[in-house]
Amino acid sequence: MANSLTIPSIDLPGNVSIPQFGLGVFQVPPEKTFENVTFALNAGYRHLDTARAYQNEAQVGQAVKASGLSREEVFITTKLWNTDQTDAIGTLKESLGLLETEYVDLYLIHWPAPGHGNYVQAWTALVEAQKEGLARAIGVSNFQASHLRQIVEATGVTPAVNQIELHPLLTQPGLRREHADRGIVTEAWSPLAQGAVLDDAVITEIAAAHSRTPGQIVLRWHVELGNVVFPKSMTPSRIEENIDIFDFELTTEEVERIEALDRGHRTGPDPDTFNG
């Protein structure tokens, strides 16, 4: 089984290093979260992606505390929900209380929610929160190029990451270019397209060629593109399988064949119109 030492990290501004692989806990019920996170930490996971909206921050925090790992050994991300954008610092402090920690490693605006018109105000508050030490790094999620431009123009501060829906059925070439131009790290949510890509013939053929599972092939593809990923699984064997991707490589041709599966297919909402 892979351990944390084998997981690559990516540098973010401000001397922050983010493990390129972790566990996402969207749709993990609160009563299952402690067990889920505990299993993952024991399997070598050192990066947890939660959100206020997932309603399981308290259980994530309890699992980290009970793990015996020091706070510095686990990278914790949480996110500001759309209806809280006018009180980002107050909401972050509530999240810190639930997580039982004095800081998060990464705090994100969950969606631009343009209908509310508050994301520039929220970003200004996140810049302040980072200065106060409440978040080591700050970023956004589901921001399109126009939203990125607005917050950078308003504050002069570029988000460290943009967490976007990204998988072989939605490869986001335009936004990835925008991120590269701005020095923003790409985080890929629903990296497995919630399972929808795993029986694709190209994926299963490449999996057979490497004697790996389709899930491992898709996650390895993300890693080779430079994406940060945190697949969700509540199945112990899959939690172990998903992290076991750091001892093989795809060929350039395989990476390109997976990239060619793009058909602009979203599993989640459109960020230009979703207000939550």
| Piece of 39-47, 199-207, 233-241, 244-252 that binds ligand NDP (CB under 6 A) | 233-241
By CB under 6 A, the count of residues binding ligand NDP is 29
CB atoms within 10 A of CB 33: 24
Q: Which of 81, 121, 268, 274 binds ligand NDP (CB under 6 A)?
A: 268
Which residue is at the shortest CB distance from ligand NDP? Answer: 24
The answer to whether 45 is a known catalytic residue is no
Give me the half-sphere count of Cα atoms (radius 13 Å) on the Cβ side of residue 229: 26
Taking the CA atoms of 24, 98, 16 and 65 in sequence, report the sign of the dihedral they define: negative
> Using the rule CB under 6 A, which residue among 20, 84, 233, 244 binds ligand NDP?
233
Residue 8 in tokens: 């690559």
Which strand (E) or helix (H) includes residue 107?
A: strand 104-109
- Give the residue with the Cβ less far from ligand NDP, 178 or 241: 241
DSSP letter string, 121-164? HHHHHHHHHHHTTSEEEEEEES--HHHHHHHHHHHS---SEEEE
Q: Is 189 in the site for ligand NDP (CB under 6 A)?
A: yes
Contact call for residues 118 and 86 (beta carbons, < 8 A): yes
Tell me the pairing of strands 16-19 and 9-12. antiparallel
234 binds ligand NDP (CB under 6 A): yes
Asked if residue 194 binds ligand NDP (CB under 6 A), the reply is yes
Alpha-carbon distance of 66 to 44, in angstroms, equals: 15
Query: Is position 191 an interface residue for ligand NDP (rule: CB under 6 A)?
Result: yes
- Interaction of residue 26 with ligand NDP, rule CB under 6 A: yes
Per-residue x/- track, 81-100, ligand NDP (CB under 6 A)? --------------------
Alpha carbons 93 and 97: distance in angstroms, whole number = 6
Select from 19-27, 60-68, 204-212, 255-263 the region that touches ligand NDP (CB under 6 A): 19-27
Footprint on residues 101-120 left by ligand NDP (CB under 6 A): 110
Catalytic residues: 54
Binding site for ligand NDP (CB under 6 A): 24-27, 49, 110, 141-142, 163, 189-195, 198, 213, 215, 230-235, 238, 241-242, 268
